[in-house]
Every structure is written in structure tokens, then in C-alpha cells.
Amino acid sequence: MVPTGGLYHVIVEGMAYPTDLDTLRQWIQQGRVTPETLVGKGTMKPIPAREVPALREFFQSAAPPPYAPPTGYPPPYQQPAPPQPYPPQYQQPYAPPSSPAYAPPTSSYGAAPAYSPAAAPAPYGQAPVYGTVPAYVNSYEEPFPNARHKQDPRLTDALKKIKTGWIMGVIVGILTFLIVTVVVVTNTSIAGLNVFSYLDVVIVFGLSFGIYRNSRVCAVLMVMYYILNKIIMLASAPSGPNAVGGILVPIFITIGFVQAAIGTFKYHELKAEAESGQWR
């Protein structure tokens, strides 16, 4: 297709190259346009360049150089060739992967290291030997496996105080349960107890179990809870000849709970000494 407009167009090998007059004159001087090259303008039919009035003087004064097609312009649009089908990849027959032959590990000297069983764990209270067996602490093991530790009077005294404390807590819980049950069944009033006092029973049993497990927190909470509970009960109870007995019994029980708390702290102190290997 020949472009339209006021510009010149040069026909080379069936392709039209638009240009202006000055550029066309340069192409003639460079020998890129010969007298026989078809040149048109606008919609006019292309004719040989020597017959174009504006170009005749260039062909009369200059000898025709060898032909060279114009360069420096983008080629006209051409329809790209259709894509070629992708060649199929050669499929090799399936072969299961082969595992390498087993080779025993070798040491730095080239010989396989001799098998050595894991060393026995270090005795309780001693630092474990790293590199033989993993170092861990089993919370379910006996904290004082050494017979000398068990016979220490400090440990036996602490365990005795702890045992007295949780047994006393169980007794207090049972008595409170019985009294609250009588109050609820008979619909009477004793020291301000009611059906909600069953919650006191649950708390006392829970703290007693904590003391049995050598818990310092439960032992301290038991002392504080029992003292506060008895102050409230004594304040609401009427005064009379039994007031002295109603005070002495809670004092005795409070002393037992305080001794249990002291026992739990001593127990954990001795346990820490046994674990670190420092037994005084």
C-alpha cells in the first residue's frame, strides 16, 4: 500500500518509504536512490526518479552510484510467522532410584569408631556428665534418695510438720462439712453458716491437698484463710461460757497450720541443697 499525503515516497523492492524532498536529495547524492528508482508524491502514481521535475537536476550532474537500499528506517510491519510446535521432549523409561551401598561411618583416622554403651546417669545430687546421657530432672523421682538425707533430723521434722498440717486441714474440712449439713437440714443458724459454707469445705480440702504435696503457697494461704474465717465466725457468734473454748481451739489449729507452712519452706530448702550437692 502506497502512503498518501504531500510527502514523497520511495518504492524499493515493493516497499514504500516516506520522506521529504531534502532527505530524498541526500539519498540521491549518497547513491541510495537511482534514476530508475520509483518515486511518488501524495496519491500520484510512482514514476522513475529521473522523471520527477524536482529531481532531474541531481541526475544530470551526478553519475549514478551503485545501488544501495535505504537504511536507517524501521522496516514496514510484517506478519510474524506462526509459532512452531514445541518439539516433544524425549521421555526416558522410568528407572527406580538406586540407593548407595551402606558404608559405616569412619573416624578421623579412617577406622570405624567402636561401639560404647551410654554411661549410667550420675548419682542424685551430682552434676551430670554431658556428652554421655541427656541431663534432665524427673519430677517424679524421689527428691531425697540418699539414706543419709532421709535420716537427717531437719528433714524428718519438716515432713512431720507438713503431715500434721494436712491431717489437721482434712479434720477441719470434715467437721465444717458436718456442721454445715446440720445447719442446712435443720434450718438453724450456727455462727453464720449457711449453704454457701460448702464452698469453705472445698477450699479447705484443696489447700490441705496442696500442703500434702509440700506446697508453700497452699500452706501460707491455709493460715491466712483459716484466721480470717475464724475471725468472722467469732465476731458473729454470741458471747457466753463457751467463748473461751471457741477461741482456744482455733488458736491450736492455727499454730498447726503455721508449723506446716514452716515445714514446707524447710522442705524445699533441703531439697534445693540436695539437688545442688550442697548438704549442710
DSSP 8-state class, residue 197? G
Per DSSP, the residues of 89-145 read PPPPPP-PPPPPPP-----TTSSPPPP-PPPPPPPTTS---TTTS-----TTS-S--
74: helix, coil or strand?
Answer: coil
Between CA 55 and CA 39 the distance in angstroms is: 10
Count the Cβ atoms, other than its own, within 10 Å of residue 16: 15
Q: What Rg value do the Cα atoms of the chain yield, rounded?
A: 55
- Buried b / exposed e across 235-264, counting CB within 10 Å, b at 16+? eeeeeeeeeeeeeeebeebbebbbbbbbbb
Q: Left (φ > 0), alpha (ψ -120 to 50) or beta: where does 110 sit?
A: left
pLDDT the model gives residue 140? 47
Q: Cell 453458716 maps to which residue?
A: 193
Q: 8: part of which helix (H) or strand (E)?
A: strand 8-12
Helix axes 198-212, 153-186, angle to 10 degrees: 170
pLDDT the model gives residue 124? 56
Between CA 170 and CA 167 the distance in angstroms is: 5
Q: pLDDT tens digits, the chain, 280 residues: what are they?
A: 434 446 888 888 878 888 888 888 888 888 888 888 888 887 788 888 888 888 887 777 555 555 565 565 556 666 777 666 555 555 566 666 666 666 666 655 555 555 555 555 555 555 555 544 444 444 445 566 555 566 778 888 888 999 999 999 999 989 889 988 988 888 877 767 778 888 888 999 999 999 999 899 999 999 998 888 888 777 766 554 455 556 788 888 888 889 999 999 988 888 888 777 766 5
Query: C-alpha distances in angstroms, 70 versus 11, 12, 76, 132?
Result: 10, 8, 13, 87
Between CA 35 and CA 49 the distance in angstroms is: 5
Between CA 187 and CA 183 the distance in angstroms is: 5
pTM of whole model > 0.75? Answer: no
Per 3-state DSSP, the chain is made up of helix, strand and coil in percentages (nearest 5) of 45, 5, 45
For the chain, what are the domain ranges? 8-61, 147-276
pLDDT the model gives residue 30? 85
